[in-house]
Structure 1
Amino acid sequence: MALVPERRLALLGGGFSTDDDGLLDDWVLDQVPVPHPKVCFVPTASGDAPAYIEQFFRAYQPRSCEPSVLHLFRRELDDDALRTFLLSQDVLYVGGGNTANLLAVWRAHGVDRLLREAFDRGTLLCGISAGANCWAEGSHTDSFGPLTHLSDGLGLLSGSVCPHYDSEPGRRSSYQAAVATRALPAGWAVEDGVCALFTDGLLADAVTRTPQSCLYRLEPGDDGGVTERAIRCRLLVAPQQPT
């Protein structure tokens, strides 16, 4: 009987676009049990910003992987080629930007369906900011200007997600209010520097590049409030250089 692949996704609170140490990028590659994984960057949320794409290649070309980019704003692949390309990847890494726009563009091109298929086949899905929001049922976002809730997402992870929980003013209180009032379902708040890995819908690992950063689980309380539980994260450290 054929083994069913594990379905895995990671919520990133950092990486090549924000950090200089490369710890979270190395961690992402370590999750893939192949020697030279194919890593596709999906910069849809930023409108395929060229500088963002260049930043990705600067970070991943020196690593032991095969980096590539999915362009949708100047799309060159037909539907069959797009499916073949995405399903050949070991990692699909979604960049930050506008969550609502990201989801709309994906659906227009059928990428949402292909991501589900890749997920079911065992491809590691991950991303930062909008690239973390998109996997859940709902998310906390500034896609429309002010911070608000977006009751929309791919639903590959149950519940909701809030990125930048500690670094952007108003994030914490606004997300707590959305969960307390059930505008968003219970979910996960990711501080900068943290990464949370989910396997088949369950939290499998939580790591951080900075000792003070945390992952939080938020659930609505019976009294109309919210409960917030800090999840201990494993500290990532850079390998020592030989002397």
Structure 2
Amino acid sequence: MPAEAPTIVATSGGWTRRDLGGVDWAGTAHLAVELARVPAGRAPRLTYLGTAGGDQRSWAAEVHAAGERAGFRTTVLDLFPLPSVDDPAGLLLGSDVVWVGGGSVANLLAVWRVHGLEEAFRAAWEAGVVLGGVSAGSICWFAGGTTDSFGPQLRPVTNGLGLLPYGNGVHYDSEARRRPLVHELVGSGVLGETHCSDDGVGLVYQGTELVEAVSEVPGKGAWIVRREGGGVVETRVEPRPLHR
């Protein structure tokens, strides 16, 4: 049973640190699994891509361990130094959830396109596979956003996959330059309407419609930034708390 409609959970969250080391999947990732409507009695099939971080094996081990604790059947799709499966497009299409990690969104997009995955992600999305991710793994689904992919100074990226026809601002409350740069880019027309998430917040889309914001952390917000008249207007979207 795939998701009821093409679904994306774009976040500045998804992970929580364990007291004894390592990480666990947090509320926004569990929500993505719930939206996939996995049949009872079968473990959710979650495919993780760490392309933006260079497919680090140590992090892949953390992903597998977190998946085991959560009851997920986890596959890590590596693209460095070569694809780790014979049919990456088939793996994506056969997943319940695809989750993309953070890092360099510019490098991620370039590598995906070299391997022909742009079309594969669209096919999976249209088939009801829930797409999600954090930071670079959020921006990639949009038309563009703000990124430190090119160096320590934030810059725009405008060649996202475009499944969602908006800009995306991640880490909106924790990195001081994110908010003013989003406002500059929207005001100048480099980015259109831009949807932003504080750390711990997820944006849930069905088709291309933002249906809700959710939060793993109390007091956080989501934001829509638009150009109106001669200025830029920012509107807060109050997230629904996730109790996990």
Q: Same fold (TM over 0.5)?
A: yes
Task: Tell me, yes or no, if the aligned pair for 1:17 and 1:56 is still in contact at 8 Å.
Answer: no
Task: Tell me, yes or no, if the aligned pair for 1:16 and 1:59 is still in contact at 8 Å.
Answer: no
Per the normalisation by structure 1, the TM-score is: 0.90
Task: Tell me, yes or no, if the aligned pair for 1:9 and 1:198 is still in contact at 8 Å.
Answer: yes
Residues 141-160 of structure 1 mapped to structure 2, 5 A cutoff: 141-145=147-151, 146-160=153-167
Q: Deviations over 1:133-161 (max 9, x none)?
A: 00011111111111111111101001110
2:64 corresponds in structure 1 to 57
| Separation of aligned partners in 1, 2:197 and 2:95 | 26
2:214 corresponds in structure 1 to 207
Residues 40-55 of structure 1 mapped to structure 2, 5 A cutoff: 40-55=47-62
| Superposition deviation, residue 21 in structure 1 | 7.7
| Separation of aligned partners in 1, 2:92 and 2:25 | 28
* CA-based RMSD: 1.9
1:25 corresponds in structure 2 to 29
- How many correspondences in the alignment? 233
Of 224, 227, 230, the residue aligned with 2:233 is 227
1:166 equivalent in alignment to 2:173 = yes
1:68 corresponds in structure 2 to 75
Task: Tell me, yes or no, if the aligned pair for 1:136 and 1:158 is still in contact at 8 Å.
Answer: yes
SS of 1:226's equivalent in the other structure is: strand
| Superposition deviation, residue 175 in structure 1 | 1.1
| Superposition deviation, residue 13 in structure 1 | 1.5
1:241 corresponds in structure 2 to none
1:103 corresponds in structure 2 to 109
Query: Which runs of 4 or more aligned residues in structure 1 lie more than 3 Å from their structure 2 counterparts after TM superposition?
Result: 17-21
Q: Deviations over 1:38-85 (max 9, x none)?
A: 00001000010122212211211122221111010132433xx22222
- The one-letter amino acid paired with 1:31 is L
Which deviates further from its counterpart, 167-176 or 17-26? 17-26
Task: Tell me, yes or no, if the aligned pair for 2:3 and 2:36 is still in contact at 8 Å.
Answer: no
Task: Tell me, yes or no, if the aligned pair for 1:188 and 1:217 is still in contact at 8 Å.
Answer: yes
SS of 1:26's equivalent in the other structure is: helix
2:6 corresponds in structure 1 to 7
| Separation of aligned partners in 2, 1:82 and 1:152 | 22
| Separation of aligned partners in 2, 1:151 and 1:103 | 11
Of 185, 190, 197, the residue aligned with 1:178 is 185
| Superposition deviation, residue 109 in structure 1 | 0.4
Q: Structure 1 unaligned runs (5+)? A: 239-243
| Superposition deviation, residue 87 in structure 1 | 1.0
Q: Structure 2 unaligned runs (5+)? A: 18-22
